[in-house]
Amino acid sequence: MQAQPAPPAGSAPAASRPQVPAQSGPVYPPYGAPLRGEVRDCYGRRYVVGPPPREIIGRDRVQLLRGAWLALVTIGFLQYAYGVAVPTLLSAHGWTHAQAFGVLALWAVCQGAVAYPAARLRAAGRLLPRTAMLLGAGLCAAGLLLFAWTDGLAWALIGYSVLCGVGAGLVYHTCTSTVARWYPERPATRAGLVSGAFAYGAIPVIAVFGLWATPAGLEMLLTVLALVVGAVVAACGWHFADPPRDWWPTAIDPRSWAVDKRLNRSRAANPPAVREFSPAEALRSRCWPLLFGTLALAGAVSLFNIAYLADFTLRVGGFGLGAAALAAGVLVGANGASRVVASRLSDRLGRRRTLSLVLAVGALAQFGLLYGGSTGSLGVLLAAALLAGLGGGSFYPLFSSLALEYYGARDVGSNTGAIYSAKVVGGVIGIGLTALAVTGAGPPEQGYAIAFCAAGAAGLLAAALTRLLRQPGHPRTLPAHPR
């Protein structure tokens, strides 16, 4: 028998060496099974792996996700059903169109304005998720009751616009940010699933206003909605809590997730942030004005459609309130359902490329809406409403993803809130200023033609601006990631 060569001096015998099992795919020593405790990935990011959610809050994280979804289903009508409710409000209060749409414009301003301060209070530990949800539930219920049982435009602005706007903003941002913190491996997809409910959850109320609501029954309908909103949102928010800072689920090794493009399929098209940016640093970055301006333009187009599609269908298309409610239902259904689809698509195509695509689709849909309504073609109008919904809702989770991948995870709530506050500008332009065009002295056909052409141009400009976005933090001598 041939003698085996002796092992090198100082080496362990073969029998005592650890046996490394064969593994498919890359292995990143000493990465193995998911651990518990603090770990760092190759980029230096910190993770606290475990404990499981049931040990922290006494329930699985999917239960918290369902609660957030239900809460947003309940309050979505405050924004998305208002346009269909305008004819009933005009008859009940004797308002002009400009006054009725002014109430929604101020609502959008208040709902968007609360995003950044709420995020900063959450980050500082001064506003707990449960407190924010209970406060939001109370404000929404009180605002609806004030809106139902008082007369006069001033009371409507105080009750619906301010109280309901601030309350809905607290609930919306608490739900999406809390879900994102409990799903750090898929924050935008899970938050998009929840935020989509904010849109399509309004469909039942749209149907009620389109088919059955009357001025005489408006007070009772709003009272019932107030009680439902207060009870459901408070019940869902009672169990809300944040995970520990930098928490990560035990089922996935975060070190592998950071680099393994087969495990994390979005990594190839969407590189992580170069470093962590504080809110002040994010605001000073070159790409922040582009993000803010793009969202302001996209939000203006989306809010214009949400507010005015039903009125356009009635006054220009010549259809009945049932057809107007159908068009609005198609719009908001696509608006909500498209958010998860866009998030998953962006995992493969890249966030910026997907954002350009959906904004262009939404912009071109404006001309389809104008043609369908002007010619009295309900089929064209509904098809264009579907496309407008696809482009008018899917950009929200994409901006959240860009905030994470541009500025890092440490202050993602505050940075996302700062970008989302562009909805204030969108509300002023898309609802407030548009009212001057569509409710002026001229014929509504002329005003809406101008408004839809302007919306299409604004959407195309927003799509073009996305091509200028670059991930901050790269040396200027090196090209930024193309996607």
What CATH number is given to the structural domain containing 424? 1.20.1250.20
Q: Residues 6 or more apart from 303 whose CB is under 8 A from it?
A: 108, 423, 426, 427, 430, 431
C-alpha to C-alpha distance for 310 and 317, rounded to whole angstroms: 10
pLDDT of residue 260: 86
In a domain, 445, yes or no: yes
Q: Can you give the residue range of the structural domain that contains 208?
A: 52-255+285-468
| Domain count of the fold of the chain | 1
In a domain, 5, yes or no: no
Tokens found for residue 434: 């548009």
Q: Residues 6 or more apart from 21 whose CB is under 8 A from it?
A: none
Tokens found for residue 269: 């098209």
Closest CA to 115 of 159, 193, 171: 171
Q: Residues 6 or more apart from 441 whose CB is under 8 A from it?
A: none
pLDDT of residue 483: 54
Could you list the beta-strand ranges (E) of 345-397. Answer: none
Tokens found for residue 152: 């006069």
pLDDT of residue 36: 79
In a domain, 157, yes or no: yes
Successive 10-residue mean pLDDT values, the chain, 483 residues: 47 43 41 70 88 93 97 98 97 95 98 97 95 98 98 97 98 97 92 95 97 95 98 98 94 90 87 92 95 98 98 97 98 96 93 97 98 97 98 95 94 94 97 89 90 98 97 72 53
In a domain, 46, yes or no: no
Closest CA to 158 of 167, 146, 172, 171: 146
β-bridge partners, 155: none
In a domain, 14, yes or no: no
C-alpha to C-alpha distance for 238 and 233, rounded to whole angstroms: 8
What's the DSSP call for residue 7?
P
Residue with tokens 């028998």: 1
Q: Go through 14-24 and write b for each residue having 16 or more CB atoms within 10 A of its CB, e for each that does not.
A: eeeeeeeeeee
Cβ atoms of residues 111 and 199 within 8 Å: no
Closest CA to 183 of 7, 480, 397: 397
pLDDT of residue 265: 85
Measured over the CA atoms of residue 144, residue 299, residue 169 and residue 238, the dihedral's sign is: positive
In a domain, 480, yes or no: no
In a domain, 144, yes or no: yes
Terminal C-alpha separation, the chain = 62
pTM of the model: 0.90
Does residue 42 sit in helix, strand or coil?
coil
C-alpha to C-alpha distance for 17 and 14, rounded to whole angstroms: 5
Exposure of 372 in the CB half-sphere (CA atoms within 13 A): 26
pLDDT of residue 21: 42
Strand arrangement of the beta sheet that strand 247-248 belongs to = 37-40, 46-49, 247-248
In a domain, 376, yes or no: yes
Does residue 432 sit in helix, strand or coil?
helix
